Chains A and B, each alone.
Chain A
Amino acid sequence: EDQVTQSPEALRLQEGESSSLNCSYTVSGLRGLFWYRQDPGKGPEFLFTLYSAGEEKEKERLKATLTKKESFLHITAPKPEDSATYLCAVQPFSGGYNKLIFGAGTRLAVHP
């Protein structure tokens, strides 16, 4: 069964304290892995898509990496505005197009 597990569930950081969020996945065949950011009461905001092991993508203070079993979202020198829930999702080859399987998310709080 295709599955996504995110850790930790919650993370509290001081401003400027770098850290990483983990996304472990089990999927029959990976079409793509996606990272989203979700603020309370809003829809998820697209951050990155990763397609193959070894791939890395960066955007401002965020960097996403992918291996055959997991993905990491590295946050460098975070600011309070980075506080949000970060969601990881996989799109398997089986099950058809555009079906995303989401993890439960990591709630990140960055304090000044």
Chain B
Amino acid sequence: KAGVTQTPRYLIKTRGQQVTLSCSPISGHRSVSWYQQTPGQGLQFLFEYFSETQRNKGNFPGRFSGRQFSNSRSEMNVSTLELGDSALYLCASSLGIEHYEQYFGPGTRLTVT
């Protein structure tokens, strides 16, 4: 079975721009979660989508948003980028019901200059 895929793998943006990251979950998984990983804060939960609905949200500003499509693929968007948004953005998928193991993708490394 193919794992979680994320595109692009690397991205360089300028402060003030916006960015869209994409995640394709494991086949059959209906839940997609997004995390931000930085050296200072570690792994922090952004939000989770299940069957196209945001089911849970972390403590991040409204500049961070996401959505999920009917095929369970998900995108996250960050608007008005700040230097502090530089991070590894990880997507994780799970079945979403009863079985809670989350499987992570390789991540998208975002650098904001």
Contact = CB atoms under 8 A, between A and B. Distances in A.
A97 B31 contact: yes
A100 B45 contact: yes
Contact of B48 (A44, A46, A97): A97
A24 B31 CA distance: 27
Interface stretch (B60-68, B69-77, B78-86, B96-104): B96-104
Interface in A16-69: 31-32, 34, 36, 42-46, 49
A91 B104 contact: no
Contacts of A100: 33, 35, 43, 45, 102
A97 B98 CA distance: 10
Contact of B42 (A31, A32, A103): A103
A105 interface: yes
B31 A98 contact: yes
Nearest to B100: A32
A43 B105 contact: yes
Nearest to B91: A43
Majority SS at the chain B contact face: strand
Interface size class of A (residues with CB under 8 A): 20 to 34
Interface in A60-109: 87, 89, 91, 95-105
Choose among B43, B48, B96 the residue with the greatest number of A CB atoms under 10 Å from its CB: B43
Residue in A31, A34, A87, A97 whose Cβ sees the most chain B Cβ within 10 Å: A97
Contact of A87 (B43, B103, B107): B43
B45 A44 contact: no
Nearest to B48: A98
Contacts of B44: 102
Interface of A: 31-32, 34, 36, 42-46, 49, 87, 89, 91, 95-105
21 contacts: A32-B100, A34-B101, A42-B106, A42-B107, A43-B90, A43-B92, A43-B104, A43-B105, A43-B107, A44-B43, A89-B43, A97-B31, A97-B48, A97-B55, A97-B100, A99-B33, A100-B35, A100-B43, A100-B102, A102-B43, A104-B42
Q: Which 3 A-B pairs have the closest CB atoms?
A: A96-B56, A43-B104, A102-B43
